[in-house]
Structure 1
Amino acid sequence: MNDTMQQPGFGQRLRRAWRHFNSGAGEARRAFPDATLDAIAAAIDAGERTHRGEVRLIVEKALPFEDAWDGVTNRQRALALFADHGVWDTEDNCGVLIYVNLAEHKVDIVADRGIDRKIDRATWQAVCSTMTDGFRRERFHDATLAAIAQVNDLLRQHFPADGERPNELPDRPVIL
């Protein structure tokens, strides 16, 4: 931490931790019911047939209380889940994690090094904005499918399919 950054005060840390603690699984299921999860899995599967990337969506209803209290950022959590779920461990280094934090209505994308060299942060931020803009209107299904389409288009452009290949990561989203 540099000298210009300050730790959040006790009240701010408590409010954030409480918001995460009070977020329930019901919110995640309302935002991402089974029909939406099925549609997302189908969109990921269809896209992966056209490019060499591996796309993984993880939706977390809330950070673990300790992480929220300790100030773990959305990006830090996304990086941890990228590692924990093996998104980094693909043959062509072409894994992409889309991480959704429902308690804070934040989205982060982590791309493996093979992709990160070709697609800049601003482009990924535009995909995140597609989702967060839709989430503000409670259009989780449509916004997520639109973002998956954007990711598939980017991967098709930079990493087109070069024949049959195994599916290295599950296509069904993970709800934590």
Structure 2
Amino acid sequence: MTITEAQHDVRTVYRGGFYGQLVSGAVWLGAAAVATWVSDGAAIAALWLGGVLIFPLTTLALRLSGGPAALPAGHPMAALATQIAFTVPIGLLVAVVLGAERPELFFPASMVVVGAHYLPFVFLYGMRLFAVLAAVLVAGGVALASLPGAPSSAGGWLTGAALVVFAALLRRSAAAEGGTTTDVG
């Protein structure tokens, strides 16, 4: 199997990343709502716990939509997908510790962690649009962390909205590619 064929399988099984980004966007919007109307501490718990549920909820959405919900056993991209998934809960531990001391930095730090985790998706899916998503989240997180007086929930709302928008863009991009991608250099 070539890299291009393996990437095609990832785009096909995971529907171009549509359901994953949609579920992630809902989790971030939920955590932002908790930050806005409950407390920063509850929002930290909501994003971390919601993040743990992203994979099972995405798998459920894939099953309900029909078609496969996972790569076949032994697929060459399966291990990479798993490794990428574990980077977020591990990275978010740093954001949780930071948020305990400076709650206004929790969402911006989480944006940087989650944005950086999207960089290997460029290779995994064979879709450069994931690099744009990574840049939006990382730059947005750095910008919000640098803005004095920004509401602590701002990063949650912005990330949730960005993920929902990118869900649609990724779905459109994968469909426009007709299931193909250019070879990775």
TM-score, normalisation: structure 2: 0.32
* Structure with the higher helix share, 1 or 2: 2
* Structure with the higher strand share, 1 or 2: 1
Q: Which has the higher contact order (CA 8 A, sep 6+)?
A: 2
